[in-house]
Amino acid sequence: MLILSRRLNEKVMIGDDISISIIEIRGDQVRIGVDAPKTVKVFRQEVFDAIKAENKAAAESKPVFPELDFGATRDPDAL
């Protein structure tokens, strides 16, 4: 892993079109600005971890379906 020290308002460039700026440092929290093309997905790691954990919980679901009254028949567009 490349480790760089940066001061407030300094930037790190990744490739030609991604830049990371240090916006604010307060206590143990750092606010980071990410400037990247729309095609590059930028997420907090926790989002992936949360979805992964939820998928695991879903796979262990109790296969007992509650009755739901949707007031309509099933979506005709679904398979």
- Residues of this chain that bind another protein (CB under 8 A): 38-39, 41, 43, 47-48, 50-68, 70-71, 73-75, 77-79
The answer to whether 41 and 48 have CB atoms below 8 angstroms apart is no
Q: Tell me whether residue 25 or residue 40 sits nearer to another protein (CB atom).
A: 40
Assign 47 to helix, strand or coil.
helix
- Closest approach of another protein to the CB of residue 15, in Å: 16
DSSP class of residue 25 equals E
Phi, psi angles (nearest 5°) of residue 26: -140, 110
- Closest approach of another protein to the CB of residue 24, in Å: 20
